[in-house]
Amino acid sequence: MTSDLSPLRIFVAGLMHETNGFSPIPTSIDSFEADLAYIPPSDRMRDLALNFAGYGDAVRAIRDAGNEAIEGPCFWAQPSGPISASVYAKLKQIVLESVTDAGPIDAVLLVLHGAMIAEGVLDCEADLLTAVRRAAGPNIPIGGLLDLHGNVSAAMLESGALLVGVKEYPHIDYPERARELHDMLVELAGGARLTMTLRTIPWLSLQGTVEQPMRGFVDRMIEAEGADDIRSVTLMHGFPWADWAHAGASVLVVSQETGAAAASALAEDLAGAFTFIADGAPAERLCIADAIDTALSALGEGPVVIADSSDNPGGGAACDSTFLLRELIDRGCQDAAVGMIWDPQAAQTAADAGVGSKLCLRIGGKVGPMSGDPVDLECEVLAVRADVKQRMFSAEPNVPIGLSAALRAGGVEIVVNSIRQQVFDPDCFLQLGIELASKKLVVVKSSQHFRALFDPIVRSTIYCDAPGSLSLDFAKLPYRNVGLVRSRAGFISDEPVTTVQRLIAAPH
């Protein structure tokens, strides 16, 4: 370790994947190399990594505090099916070798997800944290920065890691959470003693934090920090589509050692409050027909957004389902837009035809049965671009959507693109000439993240539970590892409730 007068050397690495057990998309090494595979000292992907939510925020938090950020590798792939055993082993080994090669370090900050599954390893985060602990040594504080859609296990705490997750969905608070975790790791490096408390909630649901009652729940967590020696509070919403026995929500509380009893009581109280919300006030998800009826009958200025959350690639869906598109076409809807449909073949065909061309295209429905059947349409090519980027938790557009085309079929304008990703930003429509202000309704392939940038320009948002890999009708999904019990308003798993506490301290 460095002397007390020197800046702390804090190693940062990221290995993130949200694994959907029902996704038709395999996860290979190409998946990471196509999205984010930053391995220093190579700088080919460095700019992307440093602008990536979590990893870049951690590096900036360390440097803003006057400490030295040792940039380790950063891997991320679009949510999809389980990672192959060989790919996980390779990425894990790269992280471990980077820890060893970093030289003397004072702390390790890992940017993780919380719902990563590989073949043969159902709890990748616990496995990685434990391995990093062995590589770094027993005296080095280790922290994990989590997406709130992670499924937290007792084994993750047993690694001796300090765990903090984002509170907001959309995840707009990564910078704050990175600073929070950094500050506590610095305290641990200086000899502080903190306690981690985990209280599991075996509830399967999907909750946003923009609207009540979850908005108030997040505010309550923030208010609890600073009282009764409580340092950090996270509600992990869980990821129901992981198909892991421990899938579900949980509460994580970091406290001073003297606040362990208060942390346990707070975790129990928050678990009860969240269960009450999820059971008593679930987010309303409409069927396709009702969602479109509601959107078309809405009064006021600006478009209504329909979130096609079941086909959200940000949770592992294919992003090429056609259920909503077909309904709009069959109804002869006017002033509607749909995007982004992942269809590289249609995008290339439209590009080859050229702007202004009219042609018959077979759109979507290509990946698997949860995508529905393809839709054959007579389309006009409105625009073709290969340079469009959208903002993903960033101030500037930083994520390319690939070769993309805007198409018009009747009164519906459609964005097809070649890089599978969810809609974050109106720019994926606007940069292709689709003026959202003139639309009655806009269908987006996303569950919640779009709201950060769409809310200021739309009239209202409707959530649609169409068929798909992220359907909230969990009883229709082929779970193998989760036992479901239906409640009045949702599903709980048959896993027992557990409460775990662990002292986090670096022995000297």
Task: Identify the bridge partners of residue 400 per DSSP, sorted by sequence position.
Answer: 389
Q: What is the value of pTM for the model shown?
A: 0.91
CA gap 503, 257 in Å, rounded: 7
Residue ranges, CATH 3.40.50.2300, the chain: 9-281+496-505
Specify the DSSP element, H or E, that contains 476: none
Q: What Å distances lie between residue 126 and 23, 45, 113, 122, 150, CA to CA?
A: 23, 27, 11, 9, 12
- The yes/no answer on whether domain 9-281+496-505 falls in CATH 3.40.50.2300 is yes
The Cα-based distances of 475 to 62, 237, 398, 436, 478 in angstroms read 45, 19, 38, 36, 8
Is-contact 395 402, C-beta < 8 A? no
At residue 44's C-alpha, the angle toward residues 41 and 47, to 5°, is 95
Instruction: Per-residue pLDDT tens, the chain, 508 aa: give them.
Output: 454 568 999 999 999 999 999 999 999 999 999 999 999 987 889 999 999 999 999 999 999 999 999 999 999 999 999 999 999 999 999 999 999 999 999 999 999 999 999 999 999 999 999 999 999 999 999 999 999 999 999 999 999 999 999 999 999 999 999 999 999 999 999 999 999 999 999 998 899 999 999 999 999 999 999 899 999 999 999 999 998 988 999 999 999 999 999 999 999 999 999 999 988 765 678 999 999 999 999 988 899 999 999 999 999 999 999 999 999 999 999 999 999 999 999 999 999 999 999 999 999 999 988 899 999 999 999 999 999 999 988 788 888 999 999 999 999 999 999 999 999 999 999 999 999 999 999 999 999 999 999 999 999 999 999 998 898 888 888 888 888 776 545 677 777 899 999 999 866 5
End-to-end CA distance of the chain: 11
- Contacts of 98 by beta carbon, 8 Å cutoff, 6+ apart: 11, 13, 40, 72, 73
